[in-house]
Amino acid sequence: MRPMATPQRILITGVSSGLGFALVKALLARGAQVAGVARRPEGLSKLTALAPERFLAIEADVSRPAELAKAVSAAASRWNGLDAVVANAGIGIPATVDTMRMEDVRRVFDTNVCAAIETLLLALPHVRKSDAPLLAATTSLAGWRAGPGAAPYCASKAALSAFLDSLRAELHHEGIRVLDIAPGFVKSEMTARNAFAMPFLMETDAAAQKMASAILRRKSHVSFPWPMTSLAWLVRRLPDGVYDVLARRIAARLRRAGSLGVLKQD
């Protein structure tokens, strides 16, 4: 087993806003060298201004394999290797079974599952050479047990979490840590458009600090905020029949409120 060390050269996807943007800020504040991947240049410019000598801006779409491969290669070249990678890019498209479109389902899985897995696999050869190797991905408490109105998102996060479990077992003998980051509701552009109540909604910077600490400590799991984690833990352990009754009631309440599987209108 390798000795405990702190990752310093870190690649993060999905950094244009929200948790990814805040995570880069948190890691830069702790002295890390960070390569950030995003589709939109605005967020990248703001991050570059914070620490131009320690931040590498990479404009790329993670759902396009060629662009993603170039991004990982550019990051490894700039920092002469990688200690850690965080597959953070993700999207959510609320929908019910009656409004769901397969093109949206494919978009969610292409970004949240396929692109995340490809990010980890592309970075693995570089991470293997590090003294502080870490593969991490942002999943969600929504993947612990799915609720109504967001089936593709919940399913994609559950799939990614399961992939991390397998990876963790396979890479343990090499001393490579695999981190599953499972947030609850966190303030972001994505959650700002949710048309339903979000219990225990967490401030973005506070969530990013928890993520940064887990990455630098090379943990295997982190979830937050703790009240939502506790609730999700309990719900995951309910008998199937009991949970089905509760989920049906939640779906009925959201349907009456007109917020089942919909987003706020701008």
pLDDT tens digits along 165-221: 999 999 999 999 999 999 998 887 776 666 666 778 889 999 999 999 999 999 999
Q: Out of 79, 153, 163, 185, pick the active-site residue.
A: 153
Q: Which residues contact 213 (CB under 8 A, 6 or more apart)?
A: 222
Task: Dump pLDDT digits (tens) for 112-134.
Answer: 999 999 999 999 999 999 999 99
Please give the order of strands across the beta sheet that includes 55-59: 55-59, 33-38, 9-13, 84-87, 134-138, 177-183, 221-224
Q: Nearest CA to 180 among 157, 203, 201?
A: 157
What pLDDT does 127 receive? 98
What pLDDT does 192 receive? 62
- The total number of residues shown for the chain amounts to 266
Residues paired with 178 in a beta bridge: 135
Angle, helices 204-216/18-29, rounded to nearest 10 degrees: 60
Task: Dump pLDDT digits (tens) for 215-253.
Answer: 999 999 999 999 999 999 999 999 999 999 999 998 898
Using DSSP's 3-state secondary structure scheme, residue 36 falls into strand
Instruction: Report, as an integer, the average pLDDT of 23-48.
Output: 95
Q: Nearest CA to 13 among 234, 264, 181?
A: 181
Is 153 designated active site? yes
Using DSSP's 3-state secondary structure scheme, residue 183 falls into strand
Question: CA 44 to CA 254: how far, in whole Å?
Answer: 37
Q: Which residues contact 231 (CB under 8 A, 6 or more apart)?
A: 199, 200
Burial of 193: CB neighbours in 10 Å, binned 0-12, 13-18, 19+: middle
Q: 175: phi > 0 → left, psi -120 to 50 → alpha, else beta; which?
A: left
Q: Tokens 């060629």 — which residue?
A: 66
Cβ–Cβ < 8 Å for 150, 108: no
Q: Is the pLDDT of residue 1 over 50?
A: no
Burial of 162: CB neighbours in 10 Å, binned 0-12, 13-18, 19+: middle
Domains of the chain: 9-234 (3.40.50.720)
Instruction: Report, as an integer, the average pLDDT of 65-72.
Output: 97
Question: CA 34 to CA 55: how far, in whole Å?
Answer: 5
Tokens of 100: 């769901």
